[in-house]
Amino acid sequence: MKKWLTAVGLIVICAGIFVFYNKLYYPPLPMGNISKKEVVEKVKTSTMQITKLTSANRNEWYITSKADMRVVGERIKDLVGTKGWVFTQKDGNGLFFEKQGERLVVSTQMWTSAYVLIQIPKEVNSK
């Protein structure tokens, strides 16, 4: 009986270490080509306010810390504004930009209570 409890205890400890190491306790990511562990490592090693995560499905994905949603909006405006897009309005989780008659919608999504994911269409660079 004692050996059985020891074995179960070791299995539980190993499972806990596996979950913690791979960051499985974080919510799922909307893009499938990067792991939660990679996202956390990029955020922790980055010195930028907005960190690029990946490009997937005609979108570029970024992440930023959620200090305040107004601050997040300003960071996005600065990032997209450097590409020549002009901010026009904010509606819900979308920020709308215009450039040469074209419209661009950047969307945000809370990933955790500390981080916000930002989805920017790749068109931001092509126009």
The CATH number of residue 88's host domain is: 3.30.310
Residue 95: both structure tokens together: 């920020």
Dihedral angle at the C-alpha atoms of 100, 93, 89, 74, nearest 10 degrees?
A: -90
User: Would you say residue 7 lies in a domain?
Assistant: no
Q: How do strand 59-65 and strand 50-56 relate by DSSP bridges?
A: antiparallel
User: Would you say residue 79 lies in a domain?
Assistant: yes
Which pLDDT tens digit goes with each residue over 38-96? Answer: 888 888 888 888 899 988 888 999 998 876 677 888 889 998 988 889 999 999 889 99
Lowest-confidence pick of 21-25, 32-36, 47-51, 104-108: 21-25
User: Would you say residue 107 lies in a domain?
Assistant: yes
For residue 127, what pLDDT is reported? 54
User: Would you say residue 91 lies in a domain?
Assistant: yes
Radius of gyration of the chain (CA): 19
Mean pLDDT for the chain overall = 85
**Total domain count for the chain?**
1
Note down the domain range covering 48: 29-126
User: Would you say residue 3 lies in a domain?
Assistant: no
